[in-house]
Structure 1
């Protein structure tokens, strides 16, 4: 093996390099932010050369977009696909988030990048729209009179609670859950009381 085939720590490159880069990006972007993480540091943590990093990702923009794609490709399936809960209960369970959960990576990326044309910004927008659509589908299943409106309201409330929790360093999700319950009660006709 020549020196060119070795990474910065003398380890053989190639196998698993992409996953190491993505793993390092998840760690560093969460801890330091996207703008606070340089490619040199990311490559050092991933134990790859910059050349290897750029072979897997055309640049940092592409890496940031892939980093976001990895978070929740199934859009809240861990809650909204549960069969042990009624649709109404699933809508409320979305707000059952531990206060130690980091701020939404999609919000972080959109704020940090501040460029609506950035590939990660587009992915963040698409994901947020998918969350509202998924909530609307569950609201429809619960019998909401206007499921799209309820989906948008709950998505906005979810993002607001996440941001407020982060800014205040205090758990605001119990309050958000109470507000969500009122929104859900107002949107779902009384004939669906059995879903409660």
Structure 2
């Protein structure tokens, strides 16, 4: 799967510590509850260093989500390499299977969904990354559906995305630990019944 290059901007060692600390704190505690003082303390830098490296908390939030997006793509690459799907249908189902493994390590649910709820403002510097991450997932479903020869690939991708994202929300909000597995089975049933060209 061609995801394009997701290059991280080169950071100084202090910048890397800031981003690492912010990423852990934002995900575990929530973006709005974590202040720059806590991030600077965790990164063992001054607030001035934090602002010198990132400019503002909002830009640091955007950098956190960009790095989380790169981590998600690396994880999917590893999962697909390990699962070695042979058909487009198997790729789609592997993306759902990977969700189970990802969520096992991400107890607070999807960082992008969590951030979108906390940030809300459509002009926040992090919103383009959040939107692009979800659009990419849908585009991947469309691409694989086209390769598989399904009809109405946009509609199929919409349904697959709703299953995928619904599993993320249900896992987090309803504490349904098996939500990714339920979504995987539902996706398999959907693919089996979907008409082909």
Q: TM-score, normalised by structure 1?
A: 0.82
1:48 aligns with 2:77: no
- Matched pairs, number: 177
SS of residue paired to 1:94: helix
In 1, Cα distance between the equivalents of 2:38 and 2:54? 16
Contact 1:80-1:91 at 8 Å conserved across structures: no
- The structure that has the greater radius of gyration is 1
In 1, Cα distance between the equivalents of 2:22 and 2:160? 30
In 1, Cα distance between the equivalents of 2:69 and 2:118? 20
> For residues 136-147 of structure 1, what are the structure 2 equivalents within 5 Å?
136-147=142-153
Structure number having the greater helix percentage: 2
Equivalent position of 1:24 in the other structure: 21
Structure 2 residue ranges without an equivalent (≥5): 1-10
Equivalent position of 1:182 in the other structure: 189
In 2, Cα distance between the equivalents of 1:110 and 1:91? 25
Higher alpha-carbon deviation: 143-152 or 28-37: 143-152
> For residues 30-41 of structure 1, what are the structure 2 equivalents within 5 Å?
30-41=27-38
Q: TM-score, normalised by structure 2?
A: 0.81
Task: Kindly report structure 1 stretches of 4+ aligned residues shifted beyond 6 Å.
Answer: none
Q: CA RMSD in A?
A: 2.2
> For residues 25-104 of structure 1, what are the structure 2 equivalents within 5 Å?
25-73=22-70, 74=73, 76-79=76-79, 84-85=84-85, 86-96=87-97, 97-98=100-101, 99-102=103-106, 103-104=109-110
> For residues 141-156 of structure 1, what are the structure 2 equivalents within 5 Å?
141-156=147-162
Deviations 1:87-138 (A, max 9, x none): 1111112122135342111101100111111111222012111110012111
Contact 2:40-2:46 at 8 Å conserved across structures: yes
Higher alpha-carbon deviation: 59-68 or 117-126: 117-126
> For residues 162-181 of structure 1, what are the structure 2 equivalents within 5 Å?
162-170=168-176, 171-181=178-188
